[in-house]
Amino acid sequence: MKKVRIGVLGCASIAKRLVIPAICSLNDKFKIVGIASRTKDKADDFASLFQTESFVGYDNLLDRADIEAVYVPLPTGLHEEWITKALEAGKHVIVEKSFAIDFESANKMIELARSKKLLLMENFMFRHHSQHKYIWQKIINNDLGQIRLFRSQFGFPPLDENNFRYDKILGGGSLLDAGAYTVNASLWFMGKEQEVSSSVLYFGDKNVDVYGNASLINSKGIVSQLSFGFDNFYQCNYEFWSSKGRLIVPKAFTPKPNETTNILFEKQDEIEKIEISPDNQFVNLFNDLYKNIVSNKYDKYFDDILVQSRILSDIRINAIKIQL
Protein backbone atom coordinates (compact mmCIF):
# COMPACT_ATOMS: atom_id res chain seq x y z
CA MET A 1 0.00 0.00 0.00
CA LYS A 2 1.25 3.49 -0.88
CA LYS A 3 2.37 5.55 2.14
CA VAL A 4 1.65 9.28 2.16
CA ARG A 5 4.78 11.17 3.26
CA ILE A 6 3.74 13.92 5.62
CA GLY A 7 5.44 16.80 7.48
CA VAL A 8 4.28 18.89 10.45
CA LEU A 9 4.61 22.70 10.65
CA GLY A 10 4.84 23.80 14.30
CA CYS A 11 5.21 21.95 17.61
CA ALA A 12 1.68 22.62 18.81
CA SER A 13 0.15 21.06 21.88
CA ILE A 14 -2.71 19.48 19.89
CA ALA A 15 -0.16 17.94 17.51
CA LYS A 16 1.77 16.34 20.35
CA ARG A 17 -1.20 15.12 22.39
CA LEU A 18 -3.54 13.80 19.74
CA VAL A 19 -2.77 14.34 16.08
CA ILE A 20 0.79 13.05 15.61
CA PRO A 21 0.06 9.92 17.73
CA ALA A 22 -2.97 9.27 15.48
CA ILE A 23 -0.88 9.64 12.32
CA CYS A 24 1.84 7.38 13.81
CA SER A 25 -0.75 4.71 14.59
CA LEU A 26 -1.59 4.56 10.86
CA ASN A 27 1.94 3.58 9.91
CA ASP A 28 0.73 1.49 6.97
CA LYS A 29 -0.73 4.67 5.42
CA PHE A 30 1.46 7.58 6.54
CA LYS A 31 5.13 8.21 7.13
CA ILE A 32 6.02 11.30 9.14
CA VAL A 33 9.10 12.61 7.35
CA GLY A 34 9.76 15.52 9.69
CA ILE A 35 8.58 18.14 12.16
CA ALA A 36 9.46 21.84 11.90
CA SER A 37 9.58 24.51 14.58
CA ARG A 38 10.76 28.09 14.80
CA THR A 39 13.22 26.94 17.44
CA LYS A 40 15.77 24.12 17.36
CA ASP A 41 15.12 22.77 20.86
CA LYS A 42 11.41 22.28 20.26
CA ALA A 43 11.95 20.75 16.83
CA ASP A 44 14.53 18.32 18.27
CA ASP A 45 12.28 17.36 21.22
CA PHE A 46 9.30 16.59 18.99
CA ALA A 47 11.45 14.80 16.42
CA SER A 48 13.00 12.54 19.03
CA LEU A 49 9.63 11.86 20.66
CA PHE A 50 8.14 10.72 17.34
CA GLN A 51 11.37 9.35 15.87
CA THR A 52 11.53 11.56 12.84
CA GLU A 53 13.68 14.35 11.38
CA SER A 54 13.72 17.86 12.86
CA PHE A 55 13.64 21.06 10.81
CA VAL A 56 14.36 24.55 12.09
CA GLY A 57 12.11 26.95 10.19
CA TYR A 58 8.95 25.90 8.38
CA ASP A 59 10.44 26.84 4.95
CA ASN A 60 13.12 24.21 5.32
CA LEU A 61 10.53 21.47 5.69
CA LEU A 62 8.53 22.79 2.74
CA ASP A 63 11.70 22.67 0.60
CA ARG A 64 11.80 18.89 0.92
CA ALA A 65 10.52 17.48 -2.36
CA ASP A 66 9.76 14.05 -0.88
CA ILE A 67 7.05 15.45 1.43
CA GLU A 68 3.61 15.20 -0.23
CA ALA A 69 1.38 16.59 2.50
CA VAL A 70 1.68 18.86 5.53
CA TYR A 71 -0.29 19.10 8.75
CA VAL A 72 -0.51 22.75 9.88
CA PRO A 73 -1.44 23.26 13.56
CA LEU A 74 -0.52 26.97 13.56
CA PRO A 75 -2.71 29.82 14.86
CA THR A 76 -5.33 30.91 12.30
CA GLY A 77 -3.62 34.28 11.69
CA LEU A 78 -0.64 32.42 10.18
CA HIS A 79 -2.62 30.08 7.96
CA GLU A 80 -2.75 32.15 4.78
CA GLU A 81 1.02 32.63 4.71
CA TRP A 82 1.92 28.98 5.37
CA ILE A 83 -0.89 27.30 3.46
CA THR A 84 0.00 29.43 0.43
CA LYS A 85 3.67 28.47 0.72
CA ALA A 86 2.78 24.78 1.18
CA LEU A 87 0.50 24.76 -1.87
CA GLU A 88 3.11 26.63 -3.93
CA ALA A 89 5.55 23.89 -2.90
CA GLY A 90 3.10 21.27 -4.24
CA LYS A 91 1.91 19.80 -0.91
CA HIS A 92 -1.58 18.73 0.17
CA VAL A 93 -2.61 20.53 3.37
CA ILE A 94 -4.56 19.50 6.44
CA VAL A 95 -4.94 22.52 8.68
CA GLU A 96 -6.31 23.16 12.13
CA LYS A 97 -9.50 25.13 12.59
CA SER A 98 -10.28 27.86 12.02
CA PHE A 99 -9.15 27.68 8.42
CA ALA A 100 -8.95 31.42 7.74
CA ILE A 101 -9.22 34.78 9.37
CA ASP A 102 -12.12 35.69 7.01
CA PHE A 103 -14.00 34.53 3.92
CA GLU A 104 -11.81 36.50 1.50
CA SER A 105 -8.67 34.81 2.78
CA ALA A 106 -10.36 31.37 2.65
CA ASN A 107 -11.43 31.97 -0.94
CA LYS A 108 -7.88 32.90 -2.02
CA MET A 109 -6.45 29.70 -0.55
CA ILE A 110 -9.18 27.51 -2.07
CA GLU A 111 -8.62 29.06 -5.50
CA LEU A 112 -4.91 28.33 -5.26
CA ALA A 113 -5.53 24.72 -4.16
CA ARG A 114 -8.03 24.27 -7.01
CA SER A 115 -5.55 25.57 -9.58
CA LYS A 116 -2.81 23.30 -8.21
CA LYS A 117 -5.19 20.29 -7.85
CA LEU A 118 -4.10 19.86 -4.23
CA LEU A 119 -6.20 18.80 -1.27
CA LEU A 120 -7.09 21.22 1.52
CA MET A 121 -8.86 19.96 4.64
CA GLU A 122 -9.88 21.79 7.82
CA ASN A 123 -9.46 19.62 10.90
CA PHE A 124 -12.96 19.27 12.33
CA MET A 125 -12.22 15.83 13.70
CA PHE A 126 -15.39 15.62 15.79
CA ARG A 127 -17.39 14.70 12.67
CA HIS A 128 -15.45 11.43 12.57
CA HIS A 129 -16.61 10.17 15.98
CA SER A 130 -19.11 7.31 15.89
CA GLN A 131 -21.48 9.01 18.38
CA HIS A 132 -22.70 11.27 15.53
CA LYS A 133 -23.49 8.25 13.35
CA TYR A 134 -26.00 7.30 16.02
CA ILE A 135 -27.53 10.79 15.82
CA TRP A 136 -27.74 10.69 12.01
CA GLN A 137 -29.51 7.33 12.23
CA LYS A 138 -32.08 8.78 14.63
CA ILE A 139 -32.70 11.66 12.20
CA ILE A 140 -32.93 9.39 9.15
CA ASN A 141 -35.30 7.00 10.99
CA ASN A 142 -37.51 10.00 11.84
CA ASP A 143 -37.25 9.17 15.55
CA LEU A 144 -37.13 12.89 16.30
CA GLY A 145 -40.21 13.83 14.30
CA GLN A 146 -39.90 17.44 13.18
CA ILE A 147 -36.88 19.39 14.36
CA ARG A 148 -37.87 22.73 15.88
CA LEU A 149 -34.49 23.97 17.09
CA PHE A 150 -30.79 23.09 16.98
CA ARG A 151 -28.62 24.38 19.81
CA SER A 152 -24.87 24.07 20.42
CA GLN A 153 -22.48 25.42 23.04
CA PHE A 154 -18.71 25.23 23.30
CA GLY A 155 -16.88 27.22 25.95
CA PHE A 156 -14.29 26.88 28.66
CA PRO A 157 -12.66 28.83 31.51
CA PRO A 158 -10.01 31.53 30.84
CA LEU A 159 -6.70 30.48 29.28
CA ASP A 160 -3.15 31.54 30.14
CA GLU A 161 -2.91 35.24 29.24
CA ASN A 162 -0.06 34.54 26.77
CA ASN A 163 -2.16 32.08 24.77
CA PHE A 164 -2.32 33.04 21.06
CA ARG A 165 -6.13 32.90 21.33
CA TYR A 166 -5.98 36.37 22.98
CA ASP A 167 -3.90 37.82 20.11
CA LYS A 168 -5.93 39.54 17.40
CA ILE A 169 -3.08 39.44 14.83
CA LEU A 170 -2.73 35.67 15.29
CA GLY A 171 -6.44 35.18 14.65
CA GLY A 172 -7.50 35.00 18.29
CA GLY A 173 -11.00 35.22 19.69
CA SER A 174 -13.62 32.75 20.81
CA LEU A 175 -15.63 32.83 17.57
CA LEU A 176 -12.80 31.45 15.41
CA ASP A 177 -11.80 29.02 18.15
CA ALA A 178 -14.72 27.50 20.09
CA GLY A 179 -17.50 29.14 18.04
CA ALA A 180 -16.24 27.48 14.87
CA TYR A 181 -17.25 24.05 16.21
CA THR A 182 -20.81 25.13 16.93
CA VAL A 183 -21.13 26.63 13.43
CA ASN A 184 -19.68 23.48 11.90
CA ALA A 185 -22.14 21.26 13.77
CA SER A 186 -25.06 23.41 12.66
CA LEU A 187 -23.95 23.33 9.01
CA TRP A 188 -23.58 19.57 9.19
CA PHE A 189 -26.97 18.79 10.71
CA MET A 190 -29.13 21.69 9.56
CA GLY A 191 -27.67 22.06 6.08
CA LYS A 192 -25.25 24.36 4.32
CA GLU A 193 -27.94 26.76 3.11
CA GLN A 194 -28.02 29.00 6.16
CA GLU A 195 -27.93 32.69 6.94
CA VAL A 196 -26.92 34.54 10.08
CA SER A 197 -29.98 36.17 11.63
CA SER A 198 -28.29 37.74 14.66
CA SER A 199 -25.04 37.69 16.58
CA VAL A 200 -23.41 39.31 19.60
CA LEU A 201 -19.69 39.33 20.40
CA TYR A 202 -18.26 40.43 23.75
CA PHE A 203 -14.73 41.88 23.70
CA GLY A 204 -12.25 41.74 26.61
CA ASP A 205 -9.33 44.07 27.32
CA LYS A 206 -7.10 42.38 24.70
CA ASN A 207 -9.47 43.40 21.91
CA VAL A 208 -10.56 39.87 21.00
CA ASP A 209 -14.05 38.43 21.49
CA VAL A 210 -14.05 36.34 24.68
CA TYR A 211 -17.58 35.05 24.33
CA GLY A 212 -20.54 35.35 22.02
CA ASN A 213 -23.80 34.06 20.61
CA ALA A 214 -25.16 33.61 17.12
CA SER A 215 -28.45 32.63 15.60
CA LEU A 216 -28.59 30.99 12.16
CA ILE A 217 -31.63 30.13 10.07
CA ASN A 218 -31.68 27.37 7.45
CA SER A 219 -33.58 27.09 4.17
CA LYS A 220 -36.57 25.45 5.97
CA GLY A 221 -36.74 28.24 8.54
CA ILE A 222 -35.26 26.18 11.38
CA VAL A 223 -33.10 28.14 13.81
CA SER A 224 -29.72 27.20 15.30
CA GLN A 225 -28.74 28.92 18.55
CA LEU A 226 -24.99 28.88 19.05
CA SER A 227 -22.97 30.04 22.08
CA PHE A 228 -19.23 29.99 22.65
CA GLY A 229 -16.57 31.50 24.89
CA PHE A 230 -13.28 31.57 26.76
CA ASP A 231 -14.71 32.82 30.04
CA ASN A 232 -17.31 30.18 30.70
CA PHE A 233 -18.19 27.10 32.65
CA TYR A 234 -17.05 24.18 30.43
CA GLN A 235 -19.71 23.10 27.93
CA CYS A 236 -19.18 21.16 24.70
CA ASN A 237 -22.55 19.99 23.42
CA TYR A 238 -25.32 20.07 20.85
CA GLU A 239 -28.98 19.18 21.03
CA PHE A 240 -32.15 18.98 18.94
CA TRP A 241 -35.53 20.01 20.30
CA SER A 242 -38.09 18.27 18.15
CA SER A 243 -41.77 17.37 18.05
CA LYS A 244 -40.98 13.97 19.65
CA GLY A 245 -38.32 14.83 22.22
CA ARG A 246 -34.98 16.37 23.01
CA LEU A 247 -31.82 14.63 21.81
CA ILE A 248 -28.65 15.74 23.58
CA VAL A 249 -24.97 15.04 22.88
CA PRO A 250 -23.23 16.32 26.05
CA LYS A 251 -19.59 15.72 24.95
CA ALA A 252 -19.92 16.62 21.31
CA PHE A 253 -16.54 17.91 20.16
CA THR A 254 -13.73 16.72 22.41
CA PRO A 255 -14.21 13.11 23.52
CA LYS A 256 -10.85 11.53 24.29
CA PRO A 257 -9.86 8.37 22.39
CA ASN A 258 -10.48 6.19 25.48
CA GLU A 259 -13.65 7.94 26.66
CA THR A 260 -17.12 6.41 26.68
CA THR A 261 -19.67 9.05 25.68
CA ASN A 262 -23.38 9.28 26.40
CA ILE A 263 -26.34 10.45 24.40
CA LEU A 264 -29.59 11.42 26.09
CA PHE A 265 -33.00 11.20 24.45
CA GLU A 266 -35.72 12.84 26.53
CA LYS A 267 -39.27 11.98 25.61
CA GLN A 268 -42.55 12.50 27.45
CA ASP A 269 -42.09 10.80 30.88
CA GLU A 270 -38.97 8.94 29.76
CA ILE A 271 -35.22 9.55 29.43
CA GLU A 272 -33.25 7.10 27.32
CA LYS A 273 -29.50 7.04 27.97
CA ILE A 274 -27.38 5.57 25.20
CA GLU A 275 -23.74 4.67 25.84
CA ILE A 276 -21.31 4.96 22.94
CA SER A 277 -18.02 3.03 23.07
CA PRO A 278 -14.73 4.96 22.93
CA ASP A 279 -13.67 6.00 19.44
CA ASN A 280 -10.61 7.82 18.13
CA GLN A 281 -11.89 10.62 15.93
CA PHE A 282 -8.34 11.68 15.03
CA VAL A 283 -7.46 8.25 13.64
CA ASN A 284 -10.79 8.11 11.79
CA LEU A 285 -10.18 11.52 10.24
CA PHE A 286 -6.72 10.55 8.99
CA ASN A 287 -8.13 7.34 7.51
CA ASP A 288 -10.61 9.47 5.56
CA LEU A 289 -7.90 11.92 4.54
CA TYR A 290 -5.74 9.06 3.29
CA LYS A 291 -8.52 7.74 1.06
CA ASN A 292 -9.05 11.15 -0.48
CA ILE A 293 -5.35 11.75 -1.11
CA VAL A 294 -4.72 8.40 -2.78
CA SER A 295 -7.90 8.62 -4.88
CA ASN A 296 -7.06 12.26 -5.77
CA LYS A 297 -10.35 13.68 -4.48
CA TYR A 298 -8.53 16.91 -3.81
CA ASP A 299 -11.63 19.15 -3.90
CA LYS A 300 -13.73 17.05 -1.50
CA TYR A 301 -13.62 19.59 1.36
CA PHE A 302 -13.53 22.92 -0.55
CA ASP A 303 -17.23 23.67 -0.33
CA ASP A 304 -17.42 22.89 3.41
CA ILE A 305 -14.49 25.22 4.09
CA LEU A 306 -16.02 28.08 2.08
CA VAL A 307 -19.47 27.81 3.66
CA GLN A 308 -17.97 27.64 7.15
CA SER A 309 -15.74 30.69 6.49
CA ARG A 310 -18.64 32.67 5.04
CA ILE A 311 -20.83 32.05 8.09
CA LEU A 312 -18.02 32.92 10.51
CA SER A 313 -17.34 36.15 8.60
CA ASP A 314 -21.04 37.04 8.56
CA ILE A 315 -21.33 36.40 12.30
CA ARG A 316 -18.44 38.80 12.89
CA ILE A 317 -19.49 41.50 10.40
CA ASN A 318 -23.11 41.63 11.56
CA ALA A 319 -22.47 41.22 15.29
CA ILE A 320 -23.58 43.65 17.95
CA LYS A 321 -20.19 44.27 19.56
CA ILE A 322 -20.05 44.80 23.32
CA GLN A 323 -16.89 45.99 25.07
CA LEU A 324 -16.65 44.48 28.56
Residues labelled as active-site residues: 97
Q: What are phi and psi for residue 128, nearest 5 degrees?
A: -100, 10
Q: For residues 65-124, which are near ligand NAP according to CB under 6 A? A: 73-76, 78, 96-97, 123
- Asked whether position 200 contacts ligand NAP by CB under 6 A, the answer is no
Among 4, 8, 10, 178, binds ligand NAP (CB under 6 A): 10
- Taking the complex as a whole, the smallest distance from the CB of residue 23 to ligand NAP amounts, in Å, to 13
Within 10 angstroms of residue 242's Cβ, the number of other Cβ atoms is: 20
Q: How far is the CB of 154 from ligand NAP (least distance, A)?
A: 11
Instruction: For the segment 265-324, give every residue that binds ligand NAP (CB under 6 A).
Output: none
Instruction: Indicate the pairing of strand 30-37 with strand 53-56.
Output: parallel
Q: Using CA atoms in the order 102, 61, 52, 56, what is the torsion angle rounded to 10 degrees?
A: -90
How big is the CA angle at 11 (ends 10 and 12), to the nearest 5 degrees? 95
- Of the candidate spans 34-42, 135-143, 220-228, 294-302, the one that interacts with ligand NAP by CB under 6 A turns out to be 34-42
- Of 4, 6, 8, 11, which lies in the binding site for ligand NAP, with binding defined by CB under 6 A? 11
Q: Identify which of residues 71 and 240 has a Cβ nearer to ligand NAP in the complex.
A: 71
Reduce the secondary structure of 126-189 to three states and give it as a string. Answer: HHHCHHHHHHHHHHHCCCCCCEEEEEEEEECCCCCCCCHHHCCCCCCCCHHHHHHHHHHHHHHH
| Binding residues for ligand NAP (CB under 6 A) | 10-14, 37-39, 42, 73-76, 78, 96-97, 123, 125, 164, 170, 177
